[in-house]
Amino acid sequence: MDIIKNIKVAEIVANISTSVNNGEVNPLDAIVSLKKLEMIVKQTKAEISELVIIEAAKHGKTFNYLDAEITNKYSAGRYDYSNIPEIVAKELELKAIKDKHRAAINVDVIDLDTGELLAAPIYKGGKEIISIKLNK
């Protein structure tokens, strides 16, 4: 049973977009509703993830299901260097160097160790966005 086809989520979301673009719905109303939907989807995926993995394992490594290709795999691993004092010290040293150069953004700063003028880092601004926190 394809749940998405039965409740036509894509159509509902498309209607929201159309309603906003046509001026029928306030864009803020729409974005808050979509944020709520996003949170519900995220929570639901987390709640069923273990059962999904169990079910997918029955079908092999990669398989087609409905209109999707599903692959069983592990997410990317990461190395944790926090137990290596040499790396921790170098990371702290790098942070201190970055902080020193960040201080040169608005004023000329002379490195007391070398007597050289510190170069300010290049600032790359972000794009304008909004942040939404749902009230509990």
Whether 62 contacts 70, CB under 8 Å: yes
Domain boundaries, the chain: 3-71, 78-121
Q: Is 115 left (phi over 0), alpha (psi -120 to 50) or beta?
A: left
Helices (H), the chain: 3-7, 9-21, 27-57, 85-102
CB atoms within 10 A of CB 6: 8
Query: What does pTM read for this prediction?
Result: 0.66
Q: How confident is the model at residue 1 (pLDDT cuts 50, 70, 90)?
A: low
pLDDT digits (tens, 9 = 90+) for 72-106: 999 999 999 999 999 999 999 999 999 989 988 88
Taking Cα atoms as reference points, which of 73, 52, 50, 53 lies closest to residue 61?
Answer: 73
Q: How many CB atoms lie within 10 A of CB 111?
A: 13
